[in-house]
Amino acid sequence: MTLDAQTPTLDHWIAGSPAAGDSSRTSPVYDPALGEVTKHVRLGSASDVDTAVAAARAAYAEWGRSSIAKRQTVMFAFRELLNARKGELAAILTSEHGKVLSDAAGEVARGLEVVEFACAMPQLTKGSHSLNVSTDVDVYSVKEPLGVVGIISPFNFPAMVPMWFFPIAIATGNTVVLKPSEKDPSVANWLAALLAEAGLPDGVFNVVHGDKEAVDALLEHPDVASISFVGSTPIARYVYEKGTAAGKRVQALGGAKNHMLVLPDADLDLVADAAVNAGFGSAGERCMAISVVLAVDPVGDALVEKVRDRMGKLVTGDGRGDADMGPLITREHRDKVAGYLDVAADDGATVVVDGRGVTPSGGAPDGFWLGPSLVDHVGTTSTVYTDEIFGPVLSIVRVASYAEGLELINGGQYGNGTAIFTNDGGAARRFQADVEVGMVGINVPIPVPVAYHSFGGWKSSLFGDAKAYGPSGVDFFTREKAVTARWLDPATHGGVDLGFPQNS
């Protein structure tokens, strides 16, 4: 796409200011509720990435050695500014992503939690000290920053996902190059400007916009110590393999297909509310969305009725108005998601609610609309079941027993989130132990851990050992150095001894 005079162009953010870089490539950014291009974003080249990494490396020389007190001052100031201006950020987010304002505000709030967690970094990075491990010998371990760290984020949480990582990375003394999604890039620049206002020195936080070219440049750059990636499973696998082959520390969080297992003793009104909230919130574009409800016989028919009733009251429309659910991110994605309704019918499932004819509240007819859709009796060989649809299409699969439901959950390639709904504490406890999924909800449909635990799935939902934020995040952004020290009294010097050191 070439630039035109009518639409603005979003620059990178390098060394404390906007930077055009040297690439002429750009990508259109839409307002999904209007279906209109509102700006273009630059697609950075390898040389733009190199410029940003050089700025981060230069800043690391001081920031990596800065006092804890200085880093905390910036973190607390950032927390205050973000809290005061979170509404502004939510509005930018909605204008490019499409999610409703209350949902955008919720996303910012979950990001703020991580900033608050990072404000406690002095406590979290104290290290450990053992006195007299041998006569007059002490051992202590310290946590040091890695250097320049790369973050690559997806479109669906343009504020929260970068905030899963950069507050912890910065508070532990690293400097950052963020490559946000090119589909909703403005949030990243807004956050960069706010960090600068909070007193963060130039070059500690940089943003390079772009696509595969910029991602590859980050993965290959010798001065980038680590990569934190969040996105779809094929790209997560690629990033993990390429990044680790280049010797980097990599955490790569991938896609999901989250199941909610409903036992016959569950409160079906609670279940129906939870299924609708978790299936259609953010138009299903959440990695923790519930996309499959496993209804254990005989509750299926009653549950489908309750879910259908609630869906009838949902308003789809412009996220700036009174809607419960906004549009999808692009026209291509909307069409792909809608296509699964045809697949469902072809594969013998029942399309109970078809969202393709939805009339949006507000927005424009050209917006990327798809109303909440419900498909019952989905077969487990259909791609409606096996693919991550990432849209407002909720599947109901009928199962005969807890064991059959569990087998389906554990048989899938993903292991991000899951939930069980039951009033039987023993069954819930057994599920917690039996299920091969990284985040488990018990009567909670979207079990996203709070900031002082860590977030991450299993299997193809996370490549690498480190989860996001929480204690795992602190470990990821620091490396431990163990020091063994002896300050000798010359009188006790043992002289030459070629034996392996032993403790005494």
CB nearest ligand NAD: which residue? 231
Shortest spacing between CB 55 and ligand NAD, in angstroms: 20
Burial class (CB in 10 A: 0-12, 13-18, 19+), 144: middle
Q: Cα–Cα distance between 370 and 197 in angstroms, integer?
A: 39
Shortest spacing between CB 69 and ligand NAD, in angstroms: 33
Sign for the CA dihedral angle at 458, 284, 188, 71 comes to negative
**Binding test (CB under 6 A) with ligand NAD, winner from 412, 457, 470, 473:** 457
**Binding test (CB under 6 A) with ligand NAD, winner from 182, 318, 324, 376:** 182
**Binding test (CB under 6 A) with ligand NAD, winner from 235, 276, 283, 352:** 235
SS3 206: strand
Q: Cα–Cα distance between 261 and 332 in angstroms, integer?
A: 31
Shortest spacing between CB 62 and ligand NAD, in angstroms: 29
Q: Which of residues 245-274 bind ligand NAD (CB under 6 A)?
A: 253-256
Residue number, 337 or 341, with CB nearest to ligand NAD: 337
Residue number, 211 or 404, with CB nearest to ligand NAD: 211
Shortest spacing between CB 460 and ligand NAD, in angstroms: 10
Cα dihedral 283, 90, 169, 454 in deg (nearest 10): -40
Q: Cα–Cα distance between 11 and 336 in angstroms, integer?
A: 30
Q: Which residues contact 150 (CB under 8 A, 6 or more apart)?
A: 176, 177, 178, 179, 218, 219, 221, 224, 226, 227, 228
Integer CA distances (angstroms), 294 to 89, 142, 259, 304, 457, in order: 37, 47, 7, 11, 20
Residue number, 173 or 457, with CB nearest to ligand NAD: 457
**Binding test (CB under 6 A) with ligand NAD, winner from 388, 409, 420, 478:** 388
Shortest spacing between CB 234 and ligand NAD, in angstroms: 7
Q: Is 153 in the site for ligand NAD (CB under 6 A)?
A: yes
Shortest spacing between CB 97 and ligand NAD, in angstroms: 11
The two tokens of residue 133 are 């491990």
Active site residue 287: yes
Closest among 49, 46, 44, 71 to 174, alpha carbons compared: 71
**Catalytic, out of 101, 287, 352, 375:** 287
The two tokens of residue 334 are 């909307």
Sign for the CA dihedral angle at 239, 209, 52, 198 comes to negative
**Binding test (CB under 6 A) with ligand NAD, winner from 63, 155, 165, 340:** 155
- Give per-residue burial for 313-347: e unless 16+ CB within 10 Å, then b: ebbbbbbbeebbbbbbbbbebbeebbebbeebeeb
The two beta strands, 350-353 and 458-459, are unpaired
The distance in angstroms from the start CA to the end CA of the chain is 71
Query: Binders of ligand NAD: how many residues, by CB under 6 A?
Result: 27
Binding piece for ligand NAD, criterion CB under 6 A, among 155-163, 166-174, 194-202, 342-350 = 155-163
Residue number, 372 or 415, with CB nearest to ligand NAD: 415
Q: Cα–Cα distance between 387 and 365 in angstroms, integer?
A: 28
Shortest spacing between CB 13 and ligand NAD, in angstroms: 16
Shortest spacing between CB 212 and ligand NAD, in angstroms: 4
Phi, psi of 423 (to 5 degrees): -105, 10
Q: Is 461 in the site for ligand NAD (CB under 6 A)?
A: yes
Residue number, 153 or 382, with CB nearest to ligand NAD: 153
Q: Which of residues 287-316 bind ligand NAD (CB under 6 A)?
A: 287
SS3 472: helix
Residue number, 271 or 288, with CB nearest to ligand NAD: 288
Q: Are 340 and 374 in contact (CB under 8 A)?
A: no
Residue number, 26 or 125, with CB nearest to ligand NAD: 26
Q: Which of residues 404-423 bind ligand NAD (CB under 6 A)?
A: 416
Q: Are 439 and 416 in contact (CB under 8 A)?
A: yes
Q: Which of residues 203-232 bind ligand NAD (CB under 6 A)?
A: 211-212, 215, 230-232
Residue number, 51 or 233, with CB nearest to ligand NAD: 233
Q: Cα–Cα distance between 442 and 429 in angstroms, integer?
A: 9
Q: Is 181 in the site for ligand NAD (CB under 6 A)?
A: yes
Q: Is 156 in the site for ligand NAD (CB under 6 A)?
A: yes
Q: Is 19 in the site for ligand NAD (CB under 6 A)?
A: no
Residues annotated as catalytic are 287
Can you give the binding site for ligand NAD, defined by CB under 6 A? 152-157, 161, 179, 181-182, 211-212, 215, 230-232, 235, 253-256, 287, 388, 390, 416, 457, 461
